[in-house]
Structure 1
Amino acid sequence: MITRLIFVENKFDSINYSANCYTKIKLSRISPLVEIEENKHLDQVVINELAISIDILCEKAGEIDEGSAPIQQFRGEFDGLRTLQYDKEMDTNKWLHWCLELLIVGSLDSEVQYEISPGNQKNMGLYFRVRKKIEGIFVVVLEILLDRVSIDEESMDIMGDLYEKWQSELKYKVKVKRLEQENVRLRRDFDESEKSKELFVETNQKIRRNVEQVFIPVLNEQKQVIRDLKKQLGQLPDLNFSSIHRRQLINYQEPNKEVEFEFDENKRDEYRREIEKVSPRKKRAKKETSHADDNSTDKDSDNDDDEPQWKRRKERLSGSSDETQADTE
């Protein structure tokens, strides 16, 4: 016997029972030589030997009457073709084979749903249903009628053993779902930031094009108009020597380009005076001349206090030597 345990969504009574129910699928009457593994293709011979029973264990919600069990059990059995909701255009045996594979070894993926839900007006009762996503729509491919039965000791043991594990798995599933949502949000924010970056680059390029193609030509045109007006009025351009005094390049935007200078013959003397003010050689020569004039002034001065100490010491020494020579004679 093979037993498969899954969790099934409660869609029949969300008030009196918990949202998820334990479902135990038992397979019996299988040849001992046949082994069924998960996601393994089932042979038709194996399907003919299968006897499938479904046990649903639902935990009661709210207050529980004294003496009553906290678990309600439902049971149903696979009943051949009457259990299937198959497509009339498909071969019956193929449809049966496919649905049994889905029930027994099918993966719990996003395209398969297991649920417990009530029947309709035609088929009253409670059903275990398997839905498969086909062309974007979840279609019921298998349903098994369930009967209410008394809970047995084995089922109680299963509930006790799996309840904590199920709660732990549910907590991790909620955490994983929250992380997936956060990842989607971060991805969306990243895409928005990429769009903002592209918009910024595009806007910056547009501004640069406007400056190069519109603003600079208009500015140069206005400058040329101003120069033409000054020329018509007889006003000469102002000569700014501040860049020379600060030892900066005149054409600081293009340092390797020669600077055009309009020479005015009438201002030759003015040019010379400006050059003498800033020429290092002229400054050095002027400083040496000034220092020589200061020394000549010191020699002619009668104030001994203004004379240097070495000069007074030399005069005292020469005076004492003259007196010694006179005494000797």
Structure 2
Amino acid sequence: MMTNRPFKQFLALLTLCISPAIGMTQTYPDRPIKMIVPAPAGSFADIIGREFGTRLSKKLGQPVVIDNKGGASGAIAYSAAAKSPADGYTILVTNTGPSAINPELFRKKGLTYNPIADLEPVALICLTPVALLVKADSPWKSVADIVSFASKNPDKLSFGTTGSGQLNHLSAEYLNSVAKIRTTHIPYTSGPAAITDLIAGRIDYLFYPPANGKPMIDDGRLRALAVTTIKRTVALPSVPSLSEQGYKEFDLSAWFGLAVPTGTPNDIAQKLWTVSKEIASDPEYVARLTQLGIDDVLHWQKMSRAELKKFHSDEVNRWGAIVKLAGASAE
């Protein structure tokens, strides 16, 4: 009986070449996974990372170890993730700031990473708007009151922020643009410092995360006039959105997601994408977000991986335009 020995040898060699790759994806993960969080312990991003990481660990059967790398507007964490081995054992918690705002904010100064070229998105896991807050006894009872006064008194009203190019700064400047008003920007080094001056009446208003501001709203020190998402937020369900109040195009929020270094094997990225969608759609996870005053992203779980990539590139373009509008710069 005749055999084709060269062909069989070729098949054997091919099997040897592809077997390691097959084995790697079939056994992934077989050791702990590191989750880099671009913020210190106790921060919003850290809370989200730990909540999601615990659930990801259960799904994958391996520990998910949190690695907090705060500072430099997320650049330290993003650079570390971009330079990590593309093997699925390093996951980055992403968010709007370093993923979409920083490219334009640091355009002149330069970034040590490229959020589109260096990272492969695998999930969107939650989002939060910011709320327009005033002190409880402020004469401003609505956004219309602020706009009306500012229209007649340019630069008389002041708003606080946690720095140039931050979400609260861009939200205030965007409102100035769409409402055609001028108000004065007062930057602070931290949110608590800005809140202190808002309560003391040294600034007129502040855009601030609703979950963080809720205790001071509940105890009567602050009043919320609006939130920056199209829909209302679970943290302040009785507070109307800016869209409801006539600013239809106003939809600014901080989203959070997961990414891996570019070049991660497709089967591993696909597995992380599938598992993350399951977690983000889990009623128990959604209920926990609601308890924390954080909005779910169930509507985004219909995205394909290609659509998820497009979402990220579109966000870079969208936020780049808003940063330019605000005249914000990292310099």
Q: TM-score, normalised by structure 2?
A: 0.20
Q: TM-score, normalised by structure 1?
A: 0.20
Q: Which structure's CA Rg is the greater one?
A: 1
